[in-house]
Structure formats: C-alpha cells, structure tokens
Amino acid sequence: MNFQFTPSQMALRDKACWFAENELKPMAAKWDEEELFPKPMVARAAELGFLGLTIPKEYGGGGAGPIESILVIEELAKGCANTAEVVFDCIIGPIQVIAHHGTTEQKAAILPKAARGEFLMGIAISESHAGSGATDMLSRARIEGNSIVLNGHKAFVEDTSSMTSFLVYTKFSDAPGAKGIGGVIVEKGRSGFRIGPPRKKMGVRGCIQADLYFEDCRVPAENLVVGPGEFSKLMAAFNLERCGNAAMALGIAGAALAEAIAYAKKRTQFGRPLCEFQGLQWKLARLAMRLDAARLLTYRAVANGAQGFPSMLEASMAKAYANEMAVTVTNEALQIFGGLGYLRECPLERMVRDARAWSIAGGTVEIQLNNIASELFGRRFSQRPPLEATKGQRIGVARD
C-alpha cells in the first residue's frame, strides 16, 4: 500500500491550503456571525479550478479522481466550512451523480456550467418525518407526457441561497422501500416550487438551510436523472459523499488541533508554557492519533474505490469514526483554551459548532453503524417492527 501522494496531488493540496489560509480563514468568523454565504468565494473557487476538479476534461473540468477531491475538501474545511461545503457539493455531491449517471444531454448542458460555478446543485432527500428512514418519504412525482409533475416537501436542504437547482429524490409509485424512488433535477424559478424561510442552525451557518415545497411543480421529462427502480445507483454515490463528509470533519478537526498546539506553545501558566505540562502533551498526542486514524480510514475508502465509488463498509467506517473524532478533537482543543475558548472571538467556539454537523448530515453515525453491522453479518437488518406487531400496536391504541 502506497501512502505517498504524487507531486501533482501535493501541489493541489498546497494550492487548496494557501487558498484556505489566505482567503477563507480571515473571513470565516464574519460569514458565521452574519450567517452570510460567501458568494464571492464561489467564483474564486471556480477560478482556481476547485469546482470543476472532478468533472471530466471533455466537459471543461479537471478530470481528477476522488483522492484529489478529498484532499481539497479537507484543506478548504480548515479555513472555512461554508466554502468547503459548496465545493463538496460540486466535486463529490449531486454534480457527480450527473457525471456518472446523467444522460449525454444532461452532461453536456450541466457539467461545463458547473465547472465554471454557474450551475450549483443541492441535494433534497430528507423530509420532516423521513430522515434516516428516507424510504418513508411522502413526496410524489408522476410522468405526464413530456413532463414530470412533483408534489410534496423536502426538509433540511443545505445551501438553498446559493444553489441554482436541486436533485430531488422522490417516489414515482407506491412500490415498497426504495423501488419506486428516483431523482429529478428541479431548477429554481419553476412554477409550483418555492423555498421556505431560512432555518437557524447551530453551525456551518453561512450555508443557508431551508425546506423546499412543490405544488404541481412541472419540469421537463429530460430532467429525470435516475428513474424509479434504480435508486441503488443513487445510493452508491452516497458512499463517496460519506467520504466527503468525513473529509469535512478532518479539516475542521485538523484546524482545531493546530490552533490548540499553537496556543499551548505561547500560553503560560504557573511560570511555564502549557506545552511543558505532561497532561496536555498526552491530551494533544491522543487527539493527533485520532485525527490521523480518521484520515487513514477516509483515504483508504476513497483509494479502494479507485475512479468509482467506495464500498459501503469502508465509507461508513470512515464517516462514523471521523464524525466522532471531530467532535472530540474540537471539544478537547477548546478545553485547552480555557475561558477564552468559550468566547465567540475564539475560532474554537465556531469549530465546535461546525464539527457537530457532520455526525448528523449525510446519514447519522448510528446509520453508519447499522451499515457496518450489515456488512459484518452479511445481511441487511430491518429497523422496522414486524407487520403483525405493528398491527397489534395499532389495535391496542384504538382500544385505548
């Protein structure tokens, strides 16, 4: 196994590191405080080649692979989680569904614009009653001639202020489970489509979250990306997204650890720097080990996926471990800052909030553990109660 990056990968990482340190980090606190999406950074990220990094060269992109995308996301997240999330959507998120599963016409129409930062696509799958149990979604789509008519709502949709369109996962039939689910592109401005008011979030506050509402929203039939019965294709793409989620956690935790180390060098107590105390030395050493272990799990999952998608087992392990690691590292790093760490003027306060998002987004840690257990036992475990038990519960409630 080769743990060394190529010269081009290291150069790309260094470019992302420079961008994060010099252009993102100085503004990150302002964007968080004002809950303002860093729109100027979208054009800048496109100019630097980050938005089109993994888009095929024939469509104006860089043609890079998953490893390169993970490196970039991790570095950008060290400077600003908001900007990193937008780049994430372009190089690992729904745009990659188009690149892998879209029609020739969809690729030609969307990918060049995405590489230039002119087409940003968010993902809409969760509903207020169907989060981890996504197949319980109630949104519906029907095909009418040359159109698709969509009704329903989606919750917890990120980047709604900046996205130009959304890949909406919806049911086309009442077929059980995922069999009737497909994915449709819905552009902003479509009649019957509206975006709800912004939700107030704990972290990653520059990326606006809101609900989407569809009332007989009609889109062209050619906006269908993956048809009903092919949901497994979309789920396979989630394995790479899980690694991107892990990379976000790596970046935030890496930045927190760096801040803690720097502070431990300069802060003195009892007549000597904090770094001279063995207790803090051990604490920081353990944090560094956890960070590196999460990084290796993430890199392994992506590398084993080659140019395709990682396995569910390795992607779920990487995401679950990185998510929990980021919460631990940012919390412990804040503790090293003491009272200062609890103030808004300290970057650790923001990092703690930002880190917490990733163990929920993209499939909770608990869902990843379910995935891992399924792989260990070689079968899927249903989280739903047996039908007869459900009937009995309903009868009991009725009698009461």
Up-side HSE of residue 98: CA atoms within 13 Å toward CB?
35
Q: Cα angle at 241 between 238 and 244, to 5 degrees?
A: 160
The percentage of residues in the chain with a pLDDT greater than 90, rounded to a whole number, is: 78
Last residue of a domain, one of 93, 119, 145: 119
pLDDT tens digits along 176-194: 878 889 999 999 999 999 9
Which CATH number characterizes residue 171's domain?
2.40.110.10
For residue 399, is it within any domain?
Answer: no
The fraction of the chain above a pLDDT of 70, given in percent, is: 95
Q: Is residue 392 part of a domain?
A: no
pLDDT for the residue 96: 87
Q: What's the CA gap between 117 and 138, in Å, rounded?
A: 32
248 shares a domain with 163 = no
Looking at the structure of the chain, the number of domains it has is 3
The H-assigned helical ranges of 267-386 are: 278-304, 312-337, 347-356, 365-377
Question: Are 141 and 185 contacting, i.e. CB atoms less than 8 angstroms apart?
Answer: no
Collapse the DSSP code of 70 into the 3-class scheme (helix H, G, I; strand E, B; otherwise coil) and give the result.
Answer: helix
Both 237 and 360 in one domain: the answer is: yes
- Using an 8 Å Cβ cutoff, are 365 and 324 in contact? yes
Q: Quick one: pLDDT at residue 1?
A: 64
291-310 as b/e, with b when 16 or more CB fall inside 10 Å? beebbebbbbbbbebeeebb
The reply to whether 12 and 108 lie within a common domain is yes
φ/ψ (deg, to 5) at 232: -60, -30
Determine the pLDDT at residue 398. Answer: 34
**Cβ–Cβ contacts within 10 Å for residue 129, how many?**
10
Are 106 and 174 in the same domain?
Answer: no
Residue 140 shares a structural domain with residue 80: no
* DSSP one-letter code for 130: B
Question: What is the predicted pLDDT for the residue at 306?
Answer: 65
* Residue 248 domain boundaries: 232-377
pLDDT at 80: 95
Predicted pLDDT of residue 338: 96
Enumerate the β-bridge partners of residue 210.
157
Question: Is residue 396 in some structural domain?
Answer: no
Per the CB < 8 A criterion, the answer to whether 160 and 208 are in contact is yes
> What does the pLDDT read at residue 39?
79
Question: 283: which 2 tokens?
Answer: 């604490």
Both 315 and 240 in one domain: the answer is yes
- The position carrying tokens 């992109």 is 61
Identify whether residues 163 and 44 lie together within a single domain. Answer: no
Confidence at residue 210, expressed as pLDDT on a 0 to 100 scale: 96
pLDDT value at residue 147: 97
Q: Is residue 398 part of a domain?
A: no
| pLDDT < 70 positions in the chain | 1, 306-308, 386-400
Tell me if 389 is assigned to some domain.
no
Do 189 and 132 fall within a single domain? Answer: yes
Residue 70 in domain: yes
* 384 within a domain of the structure (yes/no): no
Beta pairing, strands 147-157 & 140-144: antiparallel
- Domain membership flag for residue 251: yes
